[in-house]
A and B are shown apart, each in its own frame.
Chain A
Amino acid sequence: MTLQREKRQYSWGMVVDVDKCTGCQACVLACQAENNVPLNLQDRFERARAMSWIRVERYWEGEFPDIKARFIPIMCQHCENAPCEPVCPVFATYHNNEGLNVQVYNRCVGTRYCANGCPYIVRFFNYWEPVWPEAFRNHLNPDVTVRSRGIMEKCSFCIQRIRRGVRNAERENRNVVDGEIQTACTQACPTDALVFGNFNDEDSKVSKMRKDDRHYTLLPHLATDPNVVYLAKIDPDRSAGASHG
């Protein structure tokens, strides 16, 4: 039985400081490599079937010439009240007791209902069997399942890394230390815009960052209660505040 957020040992989450994001796409690339995400060839984009577990959305603000590019990285928000979870008929996606919205590939039958339920559009369906060029075969991450066609997939907060970190800590009879576990995207982020950690650890970096005045979540009116918290862009021209969502 899943515990409430406060009673969990770990409650994984991420804080995204939008102010620091430069839109460099390093996180996207790192994620693609870490999680065996299939290559997005031209036809995948043309048919609007491209997959990227994390994406950097770009918005234009203002009118030319007074125009600014805004970036916001979006990945699975690992909502506490995730709309995608209860609709799955086979429990292929559910909430585990570390606060993660997990996807169980073996159970998935590919109804794609979860994807319809997700307001952030971060769930992906394998329309085809994934193929990699011969040269790429040996680059696949052995810790991560290669998904077959016909199932859903999405950001897992690099669950393979979390599992290894927790296992190591348990072996040494201690709690996971803050910063010990890094997801591929946080590791790759050159500006530290993405920070991963345990929300239940009062001293963790994410817990401290979350107390910032600039914090907000995406689509708050849907009351999904995400585990990804954003910190708003600091705009010298305007007072800080939630500009997205």
Chain B
Amino acid sequence: MGKDVGTWTWFHKLASPPHFYRIAGRMIPWFAVPAAILIVASTYGGLVMAPADYQQKDAFRIIYVHVPAAWLSLMCYMTMASAAAVGLIWRIKLAHALAAASAPIGASFTLVTLVAGSLWGKPMWGTWWTWDARLTSELILLFLYLGYMALRSAFDDLTRADRASAVLALVGVVNVPIIHFSVVWWNSLHQGSTVLRKGGPAMPAEMLWPLLVGALGYTFLYAALACIRVRGEVLIRERNASWLKELEAA
């Protein structure tokens, strides 16, 4: 990997812990500020500006939390698994750090999705919880996150925790579609996808834009949280490195 210097220099420079630590630190406000603005805008647009749904009335407004969180719960898993694959194949510590940092964030988004969906389900479906396909697969996704985190915490040695949990994340990626498909076939009550569907979103613009802005805001939020957490992971991994001692002294 290191032989092809020309192509890989930038990559290795970015992947070097001290460099990344500095860059990530500088990036946090660039992610956090847009995240705050976008989420506030989406909340205002969703709660105040958008009209109520003709059937669900105001209860539908919970989608402005529920749907972005659901997207992010999947996106976090994909990021985690891709980072794990990179870390496993090229033995890049920073990729493992990103995977480790993404898991709790993704688990939180999954939990938010489930709780928000449950709050919506009681008035609309008439039940807090039902064994519907999407609900069940989201729940299993939460279990996968928890399993990943449990496996990490079972190792004393970080290198082994990194590599073992990376294998698990990849096994999970193969299984996520299978699990999703099997529960869909098993029992489906949840509505289809609103935005990503054949023939364009089934939603008027004034309802749709706060949703999309919210999704973007949540993505920025994830990026900001990931930066903070990866910096933490880098500190743990590099606690004996000389650049950290210099940083402390300065």
Asked if A and B bind, the verdict is no
